[in-house]
Amino acid sequence: MSMHLKRWLTALVAGPLVVAIIYASSDLFFASFICIVSILALYEYYSIVFADHPDSVFSITYVSGFVAACVIVFAAMPGRFDIICLATSGMLIFAGACSLVGYRTDASLFDRVLKQVLGIVYIPLTLSFIVVIRNGHNGSNWVLLLFFLVFLGDTGAFYSGRFFGRHKLLPMVSPGKTVEGAAGGMLATVLVGSVINFFFPALPWGMAMKRLPWMTTLMFFVVVSIVSQAGDLFESTMKRDAGIKDSGAIFPGHGGILDRIDALLFAIPVVYLFKEYVFAA
């Protein structure tokens, strides 16, 4: 089976399931789903950054990270940002204390602390914002819009780069990424967002037949595209450093969980920012 066919079959199966979870699940079920995604992605992240120091899944590094991830995601459900901050800073304190105990025998522990705390900020902290978005005004529609912009933009970048790619974007980070692919991804994001804003303005904005100013929405689509592609390249940097191609193999043709949500991770806080402080103003 070709890679392209696997990609589309996976998307056709996973897409409706994700839409159902966004719209039909309870707040607790949705937060639980995001928590599971966070744990799986964090496990893949640890497997990448700690490839030279492989640990058991029951080690302090893994368990403390998983616990912090659960606390952060579930604290986002009632909007308890104080608990989110405490869990994040608590992870830093705990990891730092553990490093002090073992530093005499393992000088690389400080570097491992940095990677562990980065993982908490990178995955569960950013994913927690999708819980906050969904629980806000017109939240499910905003989450669906987020998925449309990121994943269709990623598809546009993939096929634009495949058919028209000539100039390498950042060959030292990701040899397959091209300038043409990046431009195609941005064009796809802008087109998808513009179609939604023109034909279905009530979908994201919650204001029937009232479209927001085009310059504001176009800026929104462009920024989402830029940060999404930056998120993709950020994960590519980690995989390049570890010498691996995919973070996992859970999705045929797509790689691991982290490979699927790398662009989403950078886009989620930006969408939250625009939703709460630009469009709501």
7 within a domain of the structure (yes/no): no
- DSSP string of 199-252, one letter each residue: H-THHHH--TT-PPPHHHHHHHHHHHHHHHHHHHHHHHHHHHHHT-S-S--SBT
Please give the pLDDT value at position 208. 46
128 shares its domain with 142: no
47 membership: H or E segment, kind and range: helix 27-49
**pLDDT by residue for the chain (281 residues), tens digit each?**
455 556 666 667 777 888 899 998 999 999 999 999 999 999 999 988 887 776 665 578 788 999 999 999 999 999 999 999 999 999 989 888 877 776 666 666 778 888 889 999 999 999 999 999 999 988 998 999 999 999 999 989 988 988 888 889 888 888 888 999 999 999 999 999 888 887 776 655 554 445 667 888 999 999 999 999 999 999 988 888 877 776 665 555 556 899 889 999 999 999 999 999 988 75
Establish how many alpha carbons lie within 13 A of residue 11's alpha carbon, considering only the half-sphere containing its beta carbon.
15
Is 268 within the bounds of a domain? yes
Contact 123, 45 (CB under 8 A): yes
Q: Quick check: is 196 in a domain?
A: yes
Residue that is last in its domain, among 135, 161, 177: 135
Q: Which domain holds residue 201?
A: 138-281
153 with 269, same domain? Answer: yes
Q: Looking at residue 241, what is its pLDDT? A: 82
CA distance 143 to 156: 20
Whether residue 126 lies inside any domain: the answer is yes
How many of the other CB atoms lie within 10 Å of CB of 55? Answer: 14
What sections of 50-138 are H helices per DSSP? Answer: 60-76, 81-102, 109-120, 126-135
Please report which helix (H) or strand (E) contains residue 32, including its range: helix 27-49
269 strand-pairing partners: none
d(CA 190, CA 184) in angstroms, rounded, equals 10
pLDDT attached to residue 180: 93
How many beta carbons lie within 10 A of that of residue 58, not counting itself? 8
Tokens of 239: 């995989």
Nearest to 231 by CA among 189, 259, 268, 263: 263
Is residue 17, in this structure, part of any structural domain at all?
A: no
- C-alpha R_g of the chain: 19
**E strands present in the chain:** 168-170, 174-178
Contact 121, 100 (CB under 8 A): no
∠ CA 5-239-229 to the nearest 5 degrees?
Answer: 65
Say if residue 43 is in the same domain as residue 83. Answer: yes
Which amino acid does the sequence have at 127?
L
Over the stretch 28-56, which tens digit does the pLDDT of each residue have? 999 999 999 999 999 999 988 887 776 66
* b/e burial code for range 96-113 (CB count within 10 A of at least 16 → b): eebbeeeeeeeeebeebb
Same domain flag for 159 and 266: yes
CB 252 within 8 A of CB 6: yes
Q: Kindly state the tokens that stand for 259.
A: 């490979």
**What is the rounded CA–CA span in Å between residue 41 and residue 214?**
36
What is the domain count for the chain? Answer: 2
User: Is the distance from CB of 216 to CB of 181 less than 8 angstroms?
Assistant: no
What's the rounded Cα separation, in Å, for the pair 135 and 27?
7
Element (H, E) at 104: none
According to the model, what pLDDT value does residue 209 have? 44
Q: Would 6 be classed as within a structural domain? A: no
